[in-house]
């Protein structure tokens, strides 16, 4: 008698397609903003936008890590008490691989790429305004962006692991404000 063999999917094609389309659309939107707005604003505004992109990448990295390490028991207990966002938190934990992929890879990576593009625009503004050396300015801005992003994510990972349940609770509550279920 032949045993029934279960066929495991190597990957979920629908998910891959969805995440790829999302990455394209979000990247397109962020790039459009970065490429059309940043060259036409004062240097300080461009720097603020750059910092916001870096912080957004760090924030979503923290959220992605927190979801993967959160304890579902905490949220099951909260859901039994009808706490707003608890059921959503459970859904996020059940789909942690996808949510983490979206937060860490899609948003985090896009923010990293857009930070670099915004950095190029800032370099162009600095060189044109102050007549700084293009190579040195480019190296300096690139190194600063990389250091802030990597340092922020390293700091955020430890925080996310220590405070994962609290972070997920706040994130799920925030998302539940827009959830119509």
pLDDT digits (tens, 9 = 90+) for 156-167: 999 999 999 999
For residue 132, is it within any domain? Answer: yes
Query: What is the distance between the alpha carbons of residues 112 and 167, in angstroms, rounded to a whole number?
Result: 22
- In this prediction the pTM is 0.88
Give me the pLDDT at residue 13, please: 86
Query: What is the distance between the alpha carbons of residues 35 and 139, in angstroms, rounded to a whole number?
Result: 20
For residue 141, is it within any domain? Answer: yes
Please compute the mean of the pLDDT values over residues 35-50 and round it to a whole number: 91
Structural domain containing residue 45: 36-169
Residue 4 has pLDDT above 70, yes or no: no
For residue 178, is it within any domain? Answer: no
Give me the pLDDT at residue 35, please: 83
Average pLDDT, the chain: 91
For residue 13, is it within any domain? Answer: no
Closest listed residue to residue 111, CA positions, set 171, 162, 59: 59
Contact 68, 165 (CB under 8 A): no
Residue 52 has pLDDT above 70, yes or no: yes
- pLDDT tens string 72-116: 999 999 999 999 999 999 999 999 999 999 999 899 989 999 999
Q: What is the count of structural domains for the chain?
A: 1
For residue 138, is it within any domain? Answer: yes
For residue 74, is it within any domain? Answer: yes
Residue 9 has pLDDT above 70, yes or no: no
- Alpha-helix residue ranges (DSSP H) falling in 38-71: 43-69
For residue 62, is it within any domain? Answer: yes
Confidence band for 181, pLDDT divided at 50, 70 and 90: low
Give me the pLDDT at residue 112, please: 92
Residue 8 has pLDDT above 70, yes or no: no
For residue 2, is it within any domain? Answer: no
Query: What is the distance between the alpha carbons of residues 152 and 144, in angstroms, rounded to a whole number?
Result: 12
Confidence band for 5, pLDDT divided at 50, 70 and 90: very low
């Amino acid at each position: 008698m032949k045993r029934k063999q279960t066929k495991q999917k190597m990957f979920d094609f629908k998910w891959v397609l969805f995440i790829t389309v999302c990455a394209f659309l979000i990247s397109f939107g962020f790039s459009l903003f970065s490429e059309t707005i940043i060259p036409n604003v004062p240097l300080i505004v461009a720097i603020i936008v750059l910092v916001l992109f870096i912080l957004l990448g760090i924030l979503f990295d923290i959220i992605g890590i927190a979801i993967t390490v959160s304890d579902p028991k905490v949220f099951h207990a909260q859901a039994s008490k009808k706490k707003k966002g608890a059921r959503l938190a459970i859904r996020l934990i059940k789909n942690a691989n996808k949510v983490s992929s979206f937060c860490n890879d899609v948003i985090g990576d896009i923010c990293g790429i857009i930070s670099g593009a915004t950095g190029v625009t800032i370099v162009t503004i600095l060189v044109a305004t102050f007549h700084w050396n293009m190579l040195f300015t480019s190296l300096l801005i690139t190194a600063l962006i990389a250091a802030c992003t990597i340092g922020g994510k390293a700091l955020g990972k430890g925080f996310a692991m220590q405070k994962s349940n609290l972070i997920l609770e706040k994130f799920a509550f925030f998302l539940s404000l827009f959830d119509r279920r």
